[in-house]
């Protein structure tokens, strides 16, 4: 009986130790919300190769640049781009001051709830709508409006704050890259002034590392106070072929890794992965109809067609949300 008790104690101790070690490994293992598989392993293999001193693929920290699309890559873009939801709210709120909008497109359609035509204009149409409705406003005034809106705005279907509908696996990926001395940038077709107020809080990416579309602005002195005011015109569209141009102009270096989810990101990944040395491209494929929304080739928002066909041929990793992610959102 005494020996049996000793063996029981030893067995219990070993089991407890194993459970403790397993829990510790789970906490320290990179990308814990990713299922073990080719997609997760490709990320780890790439990061290991470019950060191991003495490796043939070693990249100095100064050149470890990674760029991420935002809509559909880091947070939800269905049933519409978040900035479109912002623009619609702003049109409705300011409509009483603009009676002419009831007979003028695209405002007439917005106020009538007819969004098909507006949706078809893509990022460009959204940005032009934001530009016109906020023309004459100072950059500081717009920043406050955008900040106040994003702090309380909720998804029309889930009721969650938009900032809670970020993808947990991608947050872990950003942290993993930061931990390995990567400089991480957001490169989005969305408005740069719309994103900058909240990206550090939500993603841990400071405002100076946000590359996006922009509205024309003007510097002037008003009542002795220097201000920058917004004009009713688009300055730069950071989408499709505009993304590499925006990256070069803002960052000044070609990234070694790029992450997207739609054909609007194709040129960014193409330019990134065509450079010398070890490179990495990744496409998030929205194929999980149960936990999120399944869409790709025929979607108005976040269309993914060419990327699905050509991405694998170019060596890019195609991530299946359904099969590669254990969870979608942080609070799942």
| Tens of pLDDT, residues 131-147 | 888 889 999 999 999 99
Give residue 260's pLDDT: 98
Report the distance separating Cα 101 and Cα 98, nearest Å.
6
How buried is 165 (Cβ within 10 angstroms: 0-12 exposed, 13-18 middle, 19+ buried)?
A: buried
226: left (phi over 0), alpha (psi -120 to 50) or beta: beta
Which of residues 117 and 286 earns the better pLDDT score?
A: 286
Rounded to the nearest angstrom, the gap between the alpha carbon of residue 65 and the centroid of all alpha carbons in its chain is 16
Of 260, 126, 139, 150, the C-alpha closest to 198 is: 150
What pLDDT is attached to residue 124?
A: 81
Question: Alpha carbon of 55 to those of 58, 60, 65, 126: distances in Å?
Answer: 5, 11, 18, 45
Whether 20 has a pLDDT exceeding 60, the answer reads no
pLDDT tens-digit map of 162-196: 999 999 999 999 999 999 999 999 999 999 999 99
pTM of the predicted model over 0.85 = yes
Are 48 and 240 spatial neighbours (Cβ–Cβ below 8 Å)?
no
CA 176 to chain centre: 16
């Amino acid at each position: 009986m005494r020996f049996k008790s000793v063996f029981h104690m030893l067995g219990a101790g070993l089991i407890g130790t194993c459970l403790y070690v397993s829990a510790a490994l789970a906490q320290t293992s990179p990308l814990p919300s990713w299922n073990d598989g080719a997609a997760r392993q490709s990320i780890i293999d790439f990061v290991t190769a470019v950060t191991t001193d003495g490796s043939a693929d070693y990249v100095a920290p100064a050149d470890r640049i990674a760029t991420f699309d935002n809509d559909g890559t880091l947070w939800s873009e269905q049933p519409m781009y978040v900035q479109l939801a912002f623009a619609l709210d702003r049109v409705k709120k300011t409509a009483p001051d603009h009676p002419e909008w009831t007979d003028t497109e695209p405002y007439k359609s917005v106020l009538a709830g007819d969004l098909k035509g507006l949706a078809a204009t893509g990022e460009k149409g959204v940005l032009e709508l934001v530009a016109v409705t906020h023309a004459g406003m100072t950059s500081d005034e717009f920043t406050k409006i955008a900040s106040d809106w994003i702090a309380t705005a909720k998804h029309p279907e889930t009721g969650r704050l938009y900032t809670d509908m970020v993808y947990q696996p991608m947050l872990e990926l950003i942290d993993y890259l930061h931990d390995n001395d990567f400089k991480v940038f957001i490169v989005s077709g969305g408005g740069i002034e719309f994103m900058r107020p909240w990206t550090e809080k939500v993603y841990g990416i400071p405002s100076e590392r946000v590359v996006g579309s922009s509205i024309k602005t003007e510097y002037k002195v008003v009542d002795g106070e220097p201000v920058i005011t917004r004009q009713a015109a688009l300055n730069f569209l950071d989408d499709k072929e505009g993304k590499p141009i925006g990256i070069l102009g803002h960052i000044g270096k070609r990234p070694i890794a790029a992450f997207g989810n739609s054909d609007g990101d194709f040129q960014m990944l193409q330019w990134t992965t065509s450079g010398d040395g070890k490179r990495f491209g990744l496409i998030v494929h929205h194929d999980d109809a149960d936990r999120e929304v399944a869409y790709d080739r025929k979607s108005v928002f976040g269309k993914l067609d060419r990327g699905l066909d050509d991405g694998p041929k170019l060596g890019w990793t195609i991530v299946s949300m359904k099969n590669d992610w254990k969870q979608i959102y942080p609070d799942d």
